[in-house]
């Protein structure tokens, strides 16, 4: 068995099963064994074994994997839908599974990014239909065919339906994707029956819910606790001043929250614009102040981020004066958004909250008083204990 060097100096074996990787994290002291998690681990390993046994029988057909040597149709592979409260380890288990999943054509994506991609593809196909380069009048079949050609295993983080445009397209899209052999693995905070609850014209969406339940096994990850609270209990969540000691403390909190898993990059989309996320693992996103507040990001971008990750680390917040009022305004919007979405926040900063913005004129000077109050509240153990 190969091994990798752990950030704390320990060596963690690289296993070829989710069980092996999970056990290695337990043995390294990064996580505690949880019966609910081990149930999901077993289901993920079973799915991966099934995928290995039902590999494509023919490279010429998108449906080749459905047929054995004698052309007998096989039962389609059922995916997995894991739902439960925030902080129970869903994203961590997805990390473990996706890395070792046997399928070469696999894609891991936040559900909102996937649907943004789908809408762009639908728009392009409709344009091609109008100019006569594609025949027909329904853009869904060619879009589904293109998606299935690139992806056999589709892994969704944070499966959540909030947009009526998404809701109205999902049934037809996934009917075709499933027909083409795409297997879905998803994590979500809600059970399938609660997707798009109270949404406009929800009755038209319920067919997709029933379809989904026939093509995935649904399991509730009812872990005993919010592991973020255990990892952060008693730890300072706002670290100041900046320097090597603070950097080491932030690195230690990152390692604890991500269980020592390697960080990966993601790109979120917001109305056609791309938001790079350079470091994320286990539902935690790590940014520098410059990445979030010295670039042209707005409240809608911060909302997009807040819905994608449960915990944020923001490093290197400087003391700001009037020349930095634009960055200060973005920081105000960022903290407001994370506060309103009940995200957990770890900050390293040059000064305590009440010393971060020193300008005495301009609207930011007044607005920053609210930011100070929220930063103080979000560093408290009471905030950490909030189950949201």
Last residue of a domain, one of 186, 220, 254: 220
Looking at residue 150, which CATH number applies to its domain?
A: 3.40.50.300
| 196 lies in the same domain as 241 | no
Q: Are the C-beta atoms of residues 256 and 250 closer than 8 Å to each other?
A: no
Residue 133's contacts (CB-CB under 8 Å, 6 or more residues apart) are none
| 175 lies in the same domain as 45 | yes
Looking at residue 339, which CATH number applies to its domain?
A: 3.40.50
Q: Are the C-beta atoms of residues 299 and 337 closer than 8 Å to each other?
A: yes
Asked if residue 7 is part of any domain, the answer here is no
Look-up of token digits 């300008």:
359
pLDDT for 230: 67
| 111 lies in the same domain as 200 | yes
The DSSP element (H or E) to which 382 belongs, if any, is helix 381-385
pLDDT for 54: 77
pLDDT for 8 beyond 80 = no
What global pTM score does this model have? Answer: 0.73
| 114 lies in the same domain as 239 | no
Residue 180's contacts (CB-CB under 8 Å, 6 or more residues apart) are 62, 63, 144, 145, 148
| 111 lies in the same domain as 198 | yes
| 204 lies in the same domain as 231 | no
Asked if residue 18 is part of any domain, the answer here is no
Write the pLDDT tens digit of every residue in 108-151. Answer: 988 888 888 898 899 999 999 888 888 888 899 999 999 999 99
- Residue 41 tokens read as 């681990």
Last residue of a domain, one of 220, 243, 258: 220
Please count the structural domains in the chain.
2
Q: Are the C-beta atoms of residues 94 and 108 closer than 8 Å to each other?
A: yes
Task: Find the range with the poorest average confidence among 128-132, 151-155, 347-351.
Answer: 128-132
Question: What is the phi/psi pair of residue 383, to 5°?
Answer: -65, -40
Asked if residue 160 is part of any domain, the answer here is yes
Write the pLDDT tens digit of every residue in 359-370. Answer: 988 889 889 999
| 40 lies in the same domain as 180 | yes
Last residue of a domain, one of 220, 235, 265: 220
Q: Are the C-beta atoms of residues 251 and 243 closer than 8 Å to each other?
A: no
| 246 lies in the same domain as 183 | no
pLDDT for 244: 96
Asked if residue 124 is part of any domain, the answer here is yes
What sign does the CA torsion over 283, 286, 287, 289 have? positive
What sign does the CA torsion over 249, 253, 259, 263 have? negative
Percent of the chain at pLDDT exceeding 90: 55
Q: Please compute the mean of the pLDDT values over residues 10-17 and round it to a whole number.
A: 56
| 111 lies in the same domain as 156 | yes
Q: Please compute the mean of the pLDDT values over residues 298-314 and round it to a whole number.
A: 92
The whole domain housing 178 covers 34-220
Asked if residue 181 is part of any domain, the answer here is yes
pLDDT band at 280; cut points 50, 70, 90: very high
- Residue 378 tokens read as 């979000």
């Amino acid at each position: 068995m190969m091994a990798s060097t752990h950030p704390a100096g320990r060596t963690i074996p690289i296993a070829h099963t989710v069980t092996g990787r999970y056990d290695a994290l337990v043995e390294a002291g990064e996580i505690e064994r949880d019966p609910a998690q081990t149930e999901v681990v077993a289901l993920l390993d079973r799915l991966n074994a099934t995928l290995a046994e039902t590999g494509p029988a023919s490279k010429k057909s998108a449906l080749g994997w459905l047929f054995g040597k004698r052309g007998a149709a096989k039962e389609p592979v059922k995916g997995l839908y894991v739902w439960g409260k925030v902080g129970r380890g869903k994203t961590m288990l997805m990390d473990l599974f996706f890395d070792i999943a046997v399928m070469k054509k696999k894609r891991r994506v936040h559900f909102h990014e996937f649907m943004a991609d789908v809408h762009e593809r639908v728009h392009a196909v409709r344009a091609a239909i109008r100019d006569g380069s594609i025949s027909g009048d329904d853009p869904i079949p060619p879009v589904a065919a293109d998606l299935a050609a690139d992806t056999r295993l589709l892994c969704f983080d944070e499966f959540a339906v909030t947009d009526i445009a998404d809701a109205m397209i999902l049934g037809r899209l996934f009917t075709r994707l499933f027909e083409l052999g795409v297997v879905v693995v998803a994590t979500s905070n809600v059970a399938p029956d609660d997707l798009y609850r109270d949404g406009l014209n929800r009755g038209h969406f319920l067919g997709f819910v029933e379809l989904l339940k026939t093509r995935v096994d649904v399991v509730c990850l009812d872990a005993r606790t919010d592991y973020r609270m255990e990892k952060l209990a008693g730890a300072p969540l706002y670290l100041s001043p900046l320097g090597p000691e603070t950097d080491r403390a932030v690195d230690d909190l990152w390692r604890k929250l991500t269980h020592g898993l390697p960080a990966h990059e993601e790109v979120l989309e917001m109305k056609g614009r791309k938001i790079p996320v350079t470091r994320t693992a286990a539902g935690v996103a790590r940014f520098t102040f410059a990445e979030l507040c010295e670039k042209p990001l707005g409240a809608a971008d911060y909302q997009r981020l807040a819905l994608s990750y449960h915990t944020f680390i923001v490093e290197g917040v400087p003391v700001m004066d009037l020349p930095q009022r634009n960055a200060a305004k973005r920081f105000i919007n960022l903290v407001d958004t994370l506060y309103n979405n009940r995200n957990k926040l770890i900050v390293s900063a040059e000064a305590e909250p009440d010393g971060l913005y020193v300008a005495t004129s301009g609207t930011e000077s007044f607005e920053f008083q609210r930011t100070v109050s929220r930063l103080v509240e979000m560093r408290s153990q009471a905030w950490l204990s909030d189950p949201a």
